Structure 1
Amino acid sequence: MIILKADYKKYNVSELEKLRFDEEEFYKMFDNAILLQTCNRVELIFDADSLDEIKGIENIDLKKFDILYGDEAIEHIFRVACGLESMIVGEDQILGQLKNAYLKAKEKGKISKKLEKIILKAIHTGQRARVETNINKGGVSIGSAAVELAEKIFGLEGKNVLLIGAGEMATLVIKALKEKNIKAIIVANRTYEKAEKLAKELGGIAINFDKLEEALRYADIVISATGAPHPILNKERLKNAGKTVIIDIANPRDTTDDIRELPDIFLFTIDDLRLVAEENLKKRKDEIPKVELIIEEELRNLKEILDKMKFEKVIQEFGQYIENMRKREVEKALKILKNKNKPVEEVLDNFSKAMCKKIIYDVIKIFENIEDEEIFEKLAKHLKNVNN
Structure 2
Amino acid sequence: MYSEPEDLGLQSLLAYGVTFRDSCFAELLPVAEGIKRRAYELLAPLSRGVVVLSTCNRFEVYLDSPAPGRSEEVIRSLLKAPWRLEGEEAARHLLRVAAGLESQIVGEDEVLGQVRDAWLETRRAGLTSELLDAVFHSAISAGARARRETRISKGVLGYPQAAVELGTRALGDLDGRRVLVVGAGMAARAMLRHLCTKWRPASVIVADRNPARASEAASECPGAKAISLAEVNAIDSVDLALVAIKGGPRPELTNLRSRCKVLVDISTPPASTLPDYTAREVEAFVEESARARLEEVPKVEALLEEELDRLKAFLKRKSVDRYLSQIMRVVGLIVEEEARVTAKRIAGGEDPHEAVLTALNSTVKRAFFPVLSYIREDPDSRGHLARELARRYESMLSLRGEGYGGVPEDKA
TM-score (norm 1): 0.74
Shift of 1:385: 6.2
Identity %: 29
Aligned to 1:345: none
C-alpha distance in structure 2 between counterparts of 1:53 and 1:275, whole Å: 51
Match of 1:9 among 21, 32, 42: 21
**Structure 1 counterpart of 2:178:** 160
The aligned counterpart of 1:341 is none
Equivalent of 1:187, from 202, 206, 209? 206
Q: Which moved more, 1:33-42 or 1:17-26?
A: 17-26
For 2:293, give the aligned amino acid: R
Q: Which runs of 5+ in 1 are unaligned?
A: 261-265, 334-348
Matched residues, number: 368
The 3-state SS of whatever aligns with 1:119 is helix
| CA shift for structure 1 position 268 | 1.6
Deviation at 1:276, TM superposition (A): 0.7
For the pair 1:304 / 2:301, whether they are aligned, the reply is no
Equivalent-residue separation in structure 1 for 2:70 and 2:223 (angstroms)? 48
Residue matched to 2:132 = 115
Partner of 2:300: 291
Describe the SS at the equivalent of 1:313: helix
Q: Per-residue displacement from partner, 1:46-88 (whole Å, max 9, x unpaired)?
A: 3x1x542698765433543222221111111211222111111
Aligned match of 1:127: 144
* 8 A contact 1:248–1:269 mirrored in 2: yes
Contact between 1:3 and 1:45, CA under 8 Å: does it hold in 2? yes
The 8 Å contact of residues 27 and 108 in structure 1, kept in 2 or not, is answered as no
1:7 counterpart letter in structure 2: T
Which string of whole-angstrom CA distances, capped at 9 and with x for unpartnered residues, describes residues 293-344 of structure 1?
Answer: 221222222221111011112333455567789999999x9xxxxxxxxxxx
Using a 3 Å threshold, how does the CA distance of structure 1 residues 208 and 67 change in structure 2: closer, same or farther? farther
Give, in whole Å, the separation in 2 of the partners of 1:298 and 1:386: 32
1:106 to 117, 123, 129: 123
Paired with 1:185 and 1:38, the residues of 2 have a C-alpha distance of 32
Cα distance, 1:102 vs structure 2: 2.6
Q: Within 5 A, what are the aligned runs for 1:251-266?
A: 252-255=268-271, 259-260=273-274, 266=275
Residue 292 of structure 1, CA deviation: 1.7
Deviations 1:99-118 (A, max 9, x none): 22232223223332332222
Partner of 2:406: none
1:218 and 1:14 map into 2 onto residues whose CA distance is 48
- The answer for unaligned runs of 5 or more in structure 2 is 1-12, 342-357, 395-412
Task: Determine whether 1:145 maps to 2:157.
Answer: no
Moved over 6 A (4+): 53-57, 321-331, 383-388
What is the alpha-carbon distance in structure 2 between the residues aligned to residue 219 and residue 191 of structure 1? 21
| Cα offsets for 1:163-222 (capped at 9, x unmatched) | 333333334323422212222333334555654444323214363635542576554322
Opposite residue 259 of structure 2, the aligned amino acid is K
CA distance in structure 2 between the aligned counterparts of 1:119 and 1:71, rounded to whole angstroms: 13
Return the match for 1:52 from 67, 71, 87.
67
What residue in structure 2 maps to residue 71 of structure 1?
A: 88
Instruction: Give the whole-Å Cα distance in 2 for the aligned partners of 1:214 and 1:281.
Output: 37
Paired residue for 2:265?
Answer: 248
State the match for 1:336 in structure 2: none
Q: What TM-score do the two structures reach when normalised by structure 2?
A: 0.71
In the other structure, the counterpart of 2:347 is none
